[in-house]
Structure 1
Amino acid sequence: MSTSSRIDMAITEPDSRKPARYSRLVSVLKVVLPLVALILLSLVFLLARTVDPSEAISNAEIDVEERARDPRLSGAHFAGVTDDGAALTIRAETARTDQDATVRFEVTGLSLLIEGADGERMEARAETGAIDRGNGTFVMRGGLELSVTPGYTLTTQRLSGLLDTTLIRAPSEVSGTAPAGTITAGRMELRGETGDDAGYVLVFGGGVRLNYQPEN
């Protein structure tokens, strides 16, 4: 009986060495893990490639230094209503302020839209131009194409106009198609009329030639 009792006691007695080993392992990990993290962080900074600011500027798609010296707007939009009730809209791909006049803009990719109260419509597109808010004027230059109701599609080299009144002038040769055929003229003007005959008048001058082409 005494031998059996001693065997029972040996089986049920807990192993006191396991908690001690666990405590030592936790103590070691508390020291080792922060050291490993510190070493890895140091390696990241030591192996990282140094960024050259001058190289970043040279590889940029835009010239940062030029933009700083010459600030400009992209997708500029100017809109208003003239004294005679026409809606005037000017859009530009880029607009740059004039150094001598802060309310004057040099623009590229210029488009003009004038819409009259009775459905009259004029559209024009040009490579470059200028908008002078101080004087209330605009200019369109270079490879200029315009269309005017009813049925005019014309080209010229320059257009100038007012921002607050419907008055558009082409001082140089204008050519293209008209409702009745082809037309060439030394100059052209689109202006608004007041009074009983209110509306818009398209006037050609300076040696007008109209090649009449009757409809079949």
Structure 2
Amino acid sequence: MAAHDTRERPMRRDAVRNQQLVIEAARDVVSEFGTDASMELIASRAGVGVGTVYRRFPNKEALVDEIVGLMLSELVVEARRALTLDDGTGLEVFLRVLGHSLSTHRGYAVKAVGRSKADCVEQLRDLIDELLGQAQRHGRIGPDIRLGDVMAVAWAVRGIVETTGSVAPDAWQRHLDIHLAGLRAAAPQSARVPVSREQLTLITGVAHPDRAPGERPAVR
């Protein structure tokens, strides 16, 4: 049995290594060419056979879902790190990180809406809400700003990243500066009702983990 384990252990290490190579290559290739990039190109960039890719990911949709999930997981880590700042700047810091992530993963960042696991999206949304509350307690963000307002800023940044592409890759930063200035205003800029948490769920197409399948939330 010991000899059998010794023979298998290198194979397991190789499998893990190949999987990591495929994921890293997929992030680079899909960022560069978008989700139309072929599995053959990803395999070539990873330095493995295309069969190796398909053994772990049955189709490109599964591979894209994997790298989208990684992107969101990294954002969760960054949001938690931003919460450790004790001066109320965490929200602004995180929105900068978010913009850079959307720019780096431009080819597939749009897939983070509507195709991601609900629990991951909700977790990130909860952290952003905490960052907002922290910023408001420190007087850095207006008291009438809500989570829906912050998410609208994130959507706007993503739209600019997708529109400007490699032609003006930093254009989103000025746009974010302008929006942050508005969020800091002492008085609300609009009397209109902000997007609610339930509406955010409907917009992104992600079901709440505590809601029965097919159940539509009441929009308030």
TM-score by length of 1: 0.29
Tell which has more relative contact order, 1 or 2 (C-alpha 8 A, sep 6+).
2
Q: Which structure has more helix as a fraction of its residues?
A: 2
Larger radius of gyration: 1
TM-score by length of 2: 0.28
